[in-house]
């Protein structure tokens, strides 16, 4: 499947409803250029995945009866492409009136289509809509949102982060519900909770919160924001271990949860109640 430049990008455009299976709607966004701008070349300093939840996933069984599921997708951070979110939504909508002989057949079709676009093997778990496994998890660690800060007016940069000289080396988990970034195409706000766990020189919590809030008018895709944060934290604190994940609230029946880590065995957290 090929796309010419950004001509197939559906964000910011009016699109008619599609009620017939249309895998061609899926649109890849290459990761390479944004990573080069962040200074990543050769072997990436992280592993991880982009975890998606599709809350409006439905198709028809062999008799034409609708099937409703929630899909949890994991797209490897090592894949050459991301999938553009509106194209993903429209693609999933396009199978609403498509008959599949079995749930396994529907699953395999979706995985093949998405995997072809991102250029890597994608995994997906299917849940019934009332499955308790979908309940939001409580994040571990300390919420830093009640700290008093002077809000920066500048774009996010590593220099906003500071080390707390009086705390030595620590291992801790921190999170904030105050992350907001902007879609680079439409300028619309995207809301998220940011969680990180690290071991190394102690981060100044107020400086970290100022840094998170500095994304408030920053225009970048979710996955790219998280990789920028990972780079800046790695440069500033030089931690031995770093996990970072953003839990973006759903839009169009989809939420995106990019996870990046220095530990190749670490797994992303599934979802939180806010989503």
Between 223 and 14, the higher pLDDT residue: 223
pTM over 0.85? The answer is: yes
Ranges of CATH 3.30.1130.10 domains, the chain:
23-134, 142-261
pLDDT for residue 263: 97
Mean pLDDT, the chain, as a whole number? 94
| pLDDT given for residue 1 in this prediction | 30
The residue assigned the tokens 């699109």 is 15
pLDDT given at position 15: 67
Residue 234 backbone phi and psi in degrees, to 5: -65, -40
Is residue 67 exposed (0-12), middle (13-18) or buried (19+ Cβ within 10 Å)? middle
Residue pLDDT, tens place only, 23-72: 999 999 999 999 999 999 889 999 999 999 999 999 999 999 999 999 99
pLDDT at 132 over 70: yes
| Nearest-5° Cα angle at 198, 205 to 36 | 95
Look up residue 43 and give its DSSP letter. S
Instruction: Specify the CATH number for 142-261; select among 3.30.565.10, 3.20.20.70, 3.30.1130.10, 3.30.70.270.
Output: 3.30.1130.10
Choice between 151 and 162, residue whose per-residue pLDDT is larger = 162
Whole-number Cα distances in Å, 204 to 141, 144, 209: 15, 11, 9
4 pLDDT higher than 80 = no
Look at residue 119 and tell me whether its pLDDT is greater than 60. yes
What token pair was written down for 240?
A: 């031995």
**pLDDT computed for residue 154 by the predictor:** 85
pLDDT grade, residue 14 (50/70/90)? low
183 is catalytic: yes
Distance CA 122, CA 80 (A): 12
Q: 50, 113, 190, 204: which is the annotated catalytic residue?
A: 190
Cα separation of 249 and 267, whole Å? 20
Q: What is the pLDDT of residue 9?
A: 61
Q: Which CATH architecture has domain 23-134?
A: 2-Layer Sandwich (3.30)
The Cα–Cα gap between 118 and 93 comes to 19
Nearest CA-CA partner of 45 in 177, 181, 239: 239
- Tens digit of each residue's pLDDT (9 = 90 or more) over 202-247: 999 999 999 999 999 999 999 999 999 999 999 999 999 999 999 9
Please compute the mean of the pLDDT values over residues 74-101 and round it to a whole number: 97
113 counts as catalytic: no
Q: Which of 50, 183, 204, 255 is catalytic?
A: 183
Between CA 252 and CA 187 the distance in angstroms is 16
């Amino acid at each position: 499947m090929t796309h010419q430049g950004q001509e197939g990008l559906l964000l910011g455009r009016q699109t008619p409803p599609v009620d017939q299976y249309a895998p061609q709607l899926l649109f890849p966004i290459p990761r390479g250029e944004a990573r080069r701008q962040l200074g990543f070349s050769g072997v990436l300093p992280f592993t991880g995945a982009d975890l998606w939840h599709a809350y409006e996933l439905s198709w028809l069984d062999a008799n034409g009866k609708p099937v409703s599921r929630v899909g949890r997708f994991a797209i490897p951070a090592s894949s050459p492409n991301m999938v553009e979110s509106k194209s993903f939504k429209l693609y999933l909508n396009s199978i609403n009136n498509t008959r599949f002989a079995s749930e396994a057949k529907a699953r395999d079709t979706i995985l093949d289509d998405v995997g072809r676009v991102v250029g890597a093997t994608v995994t997906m778990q299917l849940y019934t809509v009332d499955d308790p496994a979908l309940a939001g998890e409580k994040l571990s660690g300390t919420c830093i949102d009640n700290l008093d800060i002077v809000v920066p007016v500048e774009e996010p940069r590593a220099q906003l982060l500071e080390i707390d000289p009086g705390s030595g080396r620590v291992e801790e988990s921190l999170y904030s519900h105050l992350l907001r970034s902007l879609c680079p195409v439409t300028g619309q706000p995207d809301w998220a909770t940011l969680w990180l766990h690290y071991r190394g020189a102690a981060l100044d919590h107020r400086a970290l919160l100022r840094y998170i809030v500095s994304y408030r008018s920053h225009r970048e895709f979710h996955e790219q924001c998280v990789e920028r944060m990972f780079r800046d934290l790695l440069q500033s604190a030089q931690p031995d271990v770093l996990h970072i994940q953003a839990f973006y609230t759903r839009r169009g029946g989809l939420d995106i949860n990019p996870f990046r880590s220095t530990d190749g065995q670490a797994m992303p957290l599934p979802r939180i109640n806010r989503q």
